[in-house]
Amino acid sequence: MKKPLGPIVSSAHLAQGQLPSLSELEFGLILAHNAFARWMVRCMTAAGAPGLNALDIMVLHSVNHRARPKRLADLCLVLNIEDTHLVTYGLKKLEGLKLVKSGREGKERVVAITPKGAELCARYGEIRNELLVNPLAALGLAKANLSEVAAELRALSGHYDQAARAAASL
Protein backbone atom coordinates (compact mmCIF):
# COMPACT_ATOMS: atom_id res chain seq x y z
CA MET A 1 0.00 0.00 0.00
CA LYS A 2 1.26 3.45 -0.91
CA LYS A 3 1.99 5.90 1.84
CA PRO A 4 -0.35 8.95 1.68
CA LEU A 5 1.36 12.07 0.43
CA GLY A 6 0.04 14.20 3.23
CA PRO A 7 -1.00 17.81 2.88
CA ILE A 8 0.04 19.65 -0.28
CA VAL A 9 2.13 22.53 1.04
CA SER A 10 5.07 24.66 -0.05
CA SER A 11 6.89 24.44 3.28
CA ALA A 12 6.53 21.11 5.08
CA HIS A 13 8.24 22.51 8.18
CA LEU A 14 5.35 24.98 8.57
CA ALA A 15 2.77 22.20 8.25
CA GLN A 16 4.01 20.54 11.44
CA GLY A 17 1.82 21.07 14.46
CA GLN A 18 -1.82 21.42 15.19
CA LEU A 19 -3.10 23.06 12.00
CA PRO A 20 -1.42 21.63 8.89
CA SER A 21 -4.48 22.61 6.86
CA LEU A 22 -3.48 26.25 7.36
CA SER A 23 -0.26 25.50 5.46
CA GLU A 24 -2.37 23.96 2.70
CA LEU A 25 -4.46 27.12 2.58
CA GLU A 26 -1.35 29.30 2.49
CA PHE A 27 0.05 27.31 -0.42
CA GLY A 28 -3.28 27.75 -2.20
CA LEU A 29 -3.12 31.48 -1.50
CA ILE A 30 0.40 31.68 -2.93
CA LEU A 31 -0.68 29.90 -6.10
CA ALA A 32 -3.92 31.88 -6.40
CA HIS A 33 -2.18 35.22 -5.75
CA ASN A 34 0.44 34.63 -8.41
CA ALA A 35 -2.08 33.26 -10.92
CA PHE A 36 -4.42 36.19 -10.28
CA ALA A 37 -1.61 38.74 -10.67
CA ARG A 38 -0.48 37.09 -13.91
CA TRP A 39 -4.10 37.03 -15.15
CA MET A 40 -4.63 40.74 -14.41
CA VAL A 41 -1.45 41.73 -16.27
CA ARG A 42 -2.25 39.54 -19.29
CA CYS A 43 -5.88 40.67 -19.41
CA MET A 44 -4.91 44.34 -19.17
CA THR A 45 -2.32 43.84 -21.90
CA ALA A 46 -5.01 42.27 -24.10
CA ALA A 47 -7.30 45.20 -23.25
CA GLY A 48 -4.70 47.59 -24.65
CA ALA A 49 -2.55 48.67 -21.71
CA PRO A 50 0.69 46.73 -21.60
CA GLY A 51 3.24 47.63 -18.96
CA LEU A 52 0.93 47.87 -15.96
CA ASN A 53 1.66 45.61 -13.00
CA ALA A 54 -0.95 43.89 -10.86
CA LEU A 55 -1.01 46.66 -8.26
CA ASP A 56 -1.45 49.35 -10.92
CA ILE A 57 -4.41 47.40 -12.29
CA MET A 58 -6.01 46.94 -8.86
CA VAL A 59 -5.61 50.66 -8.21
CA LEU A 60 -7.12 51.53 -11.59
CA HIS A 61 -10.16 49.32 -10.98
CA SER A 62 -10.54 50.77 -7.47
CA VAL A 63 -10.44 54.33 -8.79
CA ASN A 64 -13.06 53.35 -11.38
CA HIS A 65 -15.29 51.75 -8.69
CA ARG A 66 -18.64 53.56 -8.53
CA ALA A 67 -17.20 56.40 -10.66
CA ARG A 68 -16.47 58.56 -7.61
CA PRO A 69 -13.21 60.34 -6.79
CA LYS A 70 -11.06 58.52 -4.22
CA ARG A 71 -8.54 59.63 -1.62
CA LEU A 72 -5.18 57.86 -1.40
CA ALA A 73 -5.98 56.76 2.14
CA ASP A 74 -9.25 55.19 0.99
CA LEU A 75 -7.56 53.30 -1.85
CA CYS A 76 -4.94 51.95 0.54
CA LEU A 77 -7.59 50.97 3.08
CA VAL A 78 -9.80 49.18 0.57
CA LEU A 79 -6.87 47.32 -0.98
CA ASN A 80 -5.30 46.65 2.46
CA ILE A 81 -2.02 48.23 1.36
CA GLU A 82 0.19 49.58 4.11
CA ASP A 83 2.87 51.14 1.90
CA THR A 84 1.15 54.24 0.54
CA HIS A 85 4.16 55.06 -1.64
CA LEU A 86 3.38 51.97 -3.76
CA VAL A 87 -0.11 53.26 -4.49
CA THR A 88 1.20 56.80 -5.02
CA TYR A 89 3.69 55.49 -7.58
CA GLY A 90 0.93 53.53 -9.32
CA LEU A 91 -1.32 56.59 -9.42
CA LYS A 92 1.46 58.67 -10.99
CA LYS A 93 1.96 55.98 -13.60
CA LEU A 94 -1.79 55.81 -14.32
CA GLU A 95 -2.01 59.60 -14.47
CA GLY A 96 0.88 59.70 -16.92
CA LEU A 97 -1.10 57.31 -19.14
CA LYS A 98 -4.16 59.59 -18.81
CA LEU A 99 -6.18 56.79 -17.19
CA VAL A 100 -6.79 58.76 -13.99
CA LYS A 101 -6.65 62.43 -13.08
CA SER A 102 -5.99 64.08 -9.76
CA GLY A 103 -7.78 67.01 -8.29
CA ARG A 104 -8.95 68.50 -5.02
CA GLU A 105 -12.04 68.12 -2.90
CA GLY A 106 -11.67 70.81 -0.28
CA LYS A 107 -8.22 70.40 1.21
CA GLU A 108 -7.82 66.81 0.13
CA ARG A 109 -6.21 65.45 -3.00
CA VAL A 110 -8.43 62.98 -4.82
CA VAL A 111 -8.06 60.88 -7.92
CA ALA A 112 -10.78 60.07 -10.45
CA ILE A 113 -11.10 57.89 -13.51
CA THR A 114 -10.83 59.51 -16.94
CA PRO A 115 -12.98 58.50 -19.89
CA LYS A 116 -9.94 56.69 -21.32
CA GLY A 117 -9.49 54.84 -18.01
CA ALA A 118 -13.18 53.91 -17.86
CA GLU A 119 -13.03 52.60 -21.44
CA LEU A 120 -9.99 50.52 -20.59
CA CYS A 121 -11.71 49.06 -17.50
CA ALA A 122 -14.77 48.24 -19.64
CA ARG A 123 -12.60 46.47 -22.22
CA TYR A 124 -10.85 44.55 -19.43
CA GLY A 125 -14.31 43.53 -18.18
CA GLU A 126 -15.33 42.28 -21.63
CA ILE A 127 -12.19 40.17 -21.94
CA ARG A 128 -12.65 38.92 -18.35
CA ASN A 129 -16.19 37.85 -19.13
CA GLU A 130 -15.17 36.04 -22.29
CA LEU A 131 -12.05 34.29 -21.02
CA LEU A 132 -12.73 33.78 -17.31
CA VAL A 133 -16.31 34.34 -16.20
CA ASN A 134 -18.09 32.43 -18.97
CA PRO A 135 -15.89 29.32 -18.69
CA LEU A 136 -16.21 29.32 -14.90
CA ALA A 137 -19.98 29.80 -15.12
CA ALA A 138 -20.15 26.83 -17.49
CA LEU A 139 -18.64 24.67 -14.73
CA GLY A 140 -21.77 25.27 -12.69
CA LEU A 141 -19.99 26.70 -9.67
CA ALA A 142 -22.49 27.78 -7.04
CA LYS A 143 -22.43 31.56 -6.69
CA ALA A 144 -23.22 31.23 -2.99
CA ASN A 145 -20.13 29.04 -2.50
CA LEU A 146 -17.91 31.65 -4.15
CA SER A 147 -19.39 34.32 -1.90
CA GLU A 148 -18.73 32.14 1.17
CA VAL A 149 -15.11 31.59 0.15
CA ALA A 150 -14.74 35.35 -0.39
CA ALA A 151 -16.16 36.08 3.08
CA GLU A 152 -13.84 33.52 4.66
CA LEU A 153 -10.82 35.00 2.89
CA ARG A 154 -11.75 38.49 4.12
CA ALA A 155 -12.09 37.14 7.66
CA LEU A 156 -8.75 35.33 7.41
CA SER A 157 -7.11 38.54 6.24
CA GLY A 158 -8.09 40.11 9.55
CA HIS A 159 -6.38 37.29 11.45
CA TYR A 160 -3.22 37.71 9.37
CA ASP A 161 -3.33 41.48 9.99
CA GLN A 162 -3.64 40.92 13.74
CA ALA A 163 -0.79 38.39 13.70
CA ALA A 164 1.33 40.88 11.72
CA ARG A 165 0.70 43.58 14.34
CA ALA A 166 1.65 41.14 17.10
CA ALA A 167 4.81 40.09 15.25
CA ALA A 168 5.78 43.74 14.75
CA SER A 169 5.65 44.27 18.51
CA LEU A 170 8.09 41.41 19.26
Is there a domain that residue 98 lies in? yes
| Ramachandran angles phi, psi of 74, nearest 5° | -70, -40
The amino acid sitting at 67 is A
147-160 pLDDT tens trace: 999 999 999 999 99
Q: Name the nearest CA neighbour of 89 among 78, 80, 100.
A: 100
pTM across the whole model:
0.91
Is there a domain that residue 58 lies in? yes
**Which residue segment(s) compose the domain that 75 sits in?**
21-139
The domain tally of the chain equals 1
> For the CA atoms of 60, 131, 8, 10, what is the dihedral angle to 10 degrees?
-40
| Ramachandran angles phi, psi of 105, nearest 5° | -125, 105
Residue 122: its pLDDT value, please?
A: 98
Is there a domain that residue 154 lies in? no
107-144 pLDDT tens trace: 999 999 999 999 999 999 999 999 999 999 999 888 89
Task: Please determine, for residue 60, whether its predicted confidence score (pLDDT) is greater than 90.
Answer: yes
CATH of the domain at 126: 1.10.10.10
Is there a domain that residue 165 lies in? no
Is there a domain that residue 157 lies in? no
